[in-house]
Amino acid sequence: MNCPVCNNSKNEIRFLKNGYRILHCLECDHLFTDFVPTPNEVEQIYSDDYFFKGGAGYDDYTLEKDMLIKRGEYYAGKINKFMRAGEVLDIGAAAGFLLKGFENKGWKGTGIEPNNSMVEYGKNVVGVNIRKGTVETIELEHKFDLIILVQVVAHIYDLQNSIDKIYNLLKPNGKVLIETWDKDSITARIFGKNWHEYSPPSTLNYFSKKTLNQLISQHNFSEVAHGTPKKSIHSKHAKSLIKHKLLESKGLKWMAGMTALIPGNMIIPYPSEDLFWTLYKKN
């Protein structure tokens, strides 16, 4: 499999995770999963189990509502320093909580999401406009001032065509916000293959700041700003994710029971050392 960032065929197996090979590109240093899901497999991966059954997903995604709405407001505040509020497209919108945060700050929002339950929840409960689909499959004629991918780019199975589509969906001088995990972070290096982001088949690409810039610059975008976001996590999500990762590790399985000590209903600040965001503009 060629590297999805630089298309080089020279790679090596870095490690195995959940039965999938994680490949290291010897040309650009990108890490990626040796797997390209079909559209039907994408629906299976992001079924209701992903949002409500714990493991590598969420124990109950709807518990994140207030926290993610505030996060959307946080990002809207950041972006409003560089452009006026306009029309925003949220790719991988889930239930539309981030989108609602943007709308609270004056944006007009549209989202796309492969999980039908999340689409319906977003429409009927959150009150946002979400369409079923993925960036790879959906056809949109409308153009947007801003497109956001918050913890989504790692899940995209056709990077090059998707970034091309994003470019074409933007109005002149439009911008794209990408938040993703940093494979070169201290946290990722300490945990190695047990780093939480290594969760194939849902995660397919593992970026550094360098490889994300390399990918995006190929498609006539340039960087406007970057930073480390503020992030919190619901304790039930943290509890489920930590337990899942401990059970995956042969040497740490014995610690899984200790997750019962984590309180079940609180918001936990996340240090965000292994997370970054970048705002790009269409040239």
In tens, the pLDDT along 17-33 reads 999 999 999 999 999 99
Per-residue model confidence as pLDDT tens for the chain (283 residues): 999 999 999 999 999 999 999 999 999 999 999 999 998 899 899 998 888 875 555 778 888 899 899 999 999 999 999 999 999 999 999 999 999 999 999 999 999 999 999 999 999 999 999 999 999 999 998 999 999 999 999 999 999 999 999 999 999 999 999 999 999 999 999 989 989 899 999 999 999 999 999 999 999 999 999 999 876 665 555 555 555 445 555 555 544 455 455 556 666 666 668 999 999 999 9
What ranges do the domains of the chain cover?
A: 37-180+208-282
Indicate the DSSP class of residue 5: T
**What pLDDT does residue 279 have?**
98
**What pLDDT does residue 237 have?**
55
**Phi, then psi, of 116 in degrees rounded to 5:** -65, -35
pLDDT digits (tens, 9 = 90+) for 200-259: 999 999 999 999 999 999 999 999 999 998 766 655 555 555 554 455 555 555 444 554
**What pLDDT does residue 180 have?**
97
Superfamily of domain covering 37-180+208-282: Vaccinia Virus protein VP39 (3.40.50.150)
Indicate the DSSP class of residue 106: T
**What pLDDT does residue 94 have?**
95
Of 188, 164, 226, 170, nearest to 22 by C-alpha is 188
**What pLDDT does residue 61 have?**
86
| CA 79 to chain centroid | 18
**What pLDDT does residue 141 have?**
85
Of 154, 119, 151, 146, nearest to 237 by C-alpha is 151
**What pLDDT does residue 238 have?**
56
Burial class (CB in 10 A: 0-12, 13-18, 19+), 6: middle
Cα separation of 38 and 41, whole Å? 5
Other CB atoms within a 10 A radius of the CB of residue 54 amount to 18
**What pLDDT does residue 266 have?**
62
